[in-house]
Structure 1
Amino acid sequence: MNTKLSIGLVGGAGRLPDLHSEHHHIWIGADAGALALASAGIRMKVAVGDFDSVSEEELITIRRYADQVLVYPPEKDETDFELAIRQAEEMGAADVAVYGVTGGRLDHELINIQMLYRLLDSFEQAVIIDWQNNIRLHRPGTYRIEQDDTYRYISFLSFSEQVTGLTLTGFKYPLTDASIHWGETLSISNELVAQYGTYSFASGIVIMIKSKDV
């Protein structure tokens, strides 16, 4: 049986979780994210970006910990994160976990979260992880979620203009066949009260955020 390739992709924004506690077959570093991996002593398959946020000495450090370094000009159509995603796609990854793409500039954070929409088509599973949040995007269906002591709160937001048929079981605030729209707070800051719960919906796209207090 072939093992599904899991890739950890690290960007250079915001506060990172302990990367040593995360386990992936391959690591990819995007710009300053490559420096974060190198500084943690983690070897990466590819380091990619324009590297305008690192010094020449830091780039030398990155080269020590990267099998391949792909340097692009600062004037380009794609962000460093998007270049890294392309590398993961070309490697044929099944799952990708993205770190260090939230908590920095708001314009970059918003587009990086929106990039999850592209990842829905490219990978079987995709998640953005920072030191406080775990973010996923879902198409209609039924999903199981287990109790996780790391993340107390679970929120469901409408990524599309409307989500219909949202049903939550095993939660403190259950829902049955509800509709949520942009800008509504109906399904924010919920909590699991059972060992596991389920969430399902009939149409639209849901962004699920598991989070903890600082």
Structure 2
Amino acid sequence: MRTIAIIGNSPHTYPDLQIYKNDVDIWIGADRGSIELIRQKVPVDYAIGDFDSTTEEERGIIKDYCNEFEEYPSEKDETDLELALLKAFSLQPQCILLFGVTGGRLDHELVNIQLLYKIVCNNIKGSIIDKNNVLELTMPGTHKISADAYYPTVSFIPYTKVVKGLSLTGFYYPLTKQDITWGSTLCISNKLIGKNGTFSYEEGILLLVKSRDTIQK
């Protein structure tokens, strides 16, 4: 399975990318995300964007480090992240991981979450990963979920106005054939009671969020 990772420009949310090095086949830096890949000593297969958030010196470093550098004008229809995503689609992956795309401007964060819809509509598994959360958009059917000690809390948020027939098995708070709608908090802050569980539903689109509480220093 070909997996592509795209690194955006939200510096306070980056996880340790070394954890994912063995699982990722191609790394794409979106604008200043390329600098984070270099900082974490991860290969930059593609560097894409207008690079308006980098200095001339930093752009030179990126060009020397990456395999392919694609610079776009700052006045364009797509964000740098969407340009990186379009490049990823052209490489025909089965999975796309998005890092550094949350925790900054709220308008960017909301639209970046919506990009998961574009990914799943291309029959590709997609996830947004940061220090405290993993987000995945799912379609109707039965889905297996495994316990994750780093992201122990599991929430389900309806992406469409209604998600019909949601059932949760293997959770502390089980559910059977329940419809959930926009604004419902019924499926927030659940946990698995064993190593694995399942969730299934009949209609709609559901956002799965695995998370951990922010550690205060």
Do 1:50 and 1:74's aligned partners in 2 also have CA atoms closer than 8 Å?
Answer: yes
Q: CA deviation at 1:60?
A: 1.1
Match of 1:15 in 2: 13
Report the equivalent of 2:148: 148
Deviations 1:71-95 (A, max 9, x none): 0011000000000001101111111
| TM-score when normalising by structure 1 | 0.96
Counterpart-to-counterpart distance in 1, 2:59 and 2:39: 11
Q: Confirm or deny: 8 A CA contact 1:152 1:211 kept in the other structure.
A: yes
Matched, 1:130 2:130: yes
Per the alignment, residue 56 of structure 1 pairs with: 56
2:7 corresponds to 1:6: no
Q: Deviation digits for residues 23-67 of structure 1, max 9, x if unmatched?
A: 201100000111111122221111000001011111111112211
Amino acid at match of 1:17: P
Q: Offset of 1:146 from its aligned partner?
A: 1.0
CA distance in 2 between partners of 1:18 and 1:117 (Å): 25
User: How far apart, CA to CA, are the structure 2 residues paired with 1:93 and 1:146?
Assistant: 23
Checking the alignment, whether the CA contact within 8 Å between 1:158 and 1:205 is kept in structure 2 is yes
1:181 deviates by 0.5
CA distance in 1, matches of 2:184, 2:33: 34
Tell me which amino acid in the other structure corresponds to 2:120: L
Q: Distance in 2 between matches of 1:75 and 1:59?
A: 18
159-168 or 55-64: bigger deviation:
55-64
Instruction: Give the distance between the partners of 1:106 and 1:60, measured in 2 at CA.
Output: 30
Match runs of 1:71-86 below 5 Å: 71-86=71-86
Structure 2 residue 94 is matched with structure 1 residue 94: yes
State the match for 1:109 in structure 2.
Answer: 109
Instruction: Give the gaps of 5 or more residues in structure 2.
Output: none
Give me the whole-angstrom Cα distance separating, in 1, the residues matched to 2:181 and 2:170: 23
Q: Give 3-state SS (helix, strand or coil) of 2:67's partner.
A: strand
Unaligned runs of 5+ in 1: none
- Indicate the SS of the match to 2:29: strand
CA distance in 2 between counterparts of 1:56 and 1:122 reads: 36
1:48–1:70 contact (8 Å) kept in structure 2:
yes
Counting matched residue pairs gives 211
Partner of 1:194: helix, strand, or coil?
Answer: coil
Is contact 1:41-1:65 (8 Å) kept? Answer: no
| Aligned amino acid, residue 12 of structure 1 | N
Q: Which residue of 2 aligns with 1:33?
A: 33
- Tell me the percent identity: 44
Query: Which secondary structure state, in structure 2, belongs to the residue aligned with residue 135 of structure 1?
Result: strand
Over the residues paired in the alignment, what is the CA RMSD in angstroms?
Answer: 0.9
- For residue 199 of structure 1, give the secondary structure of its aligned residue in structure 2: strand
Give the Cα–Cα distance (whole angstroms) in 1 for the partners of residues 134 and 75 of structure 2.
31
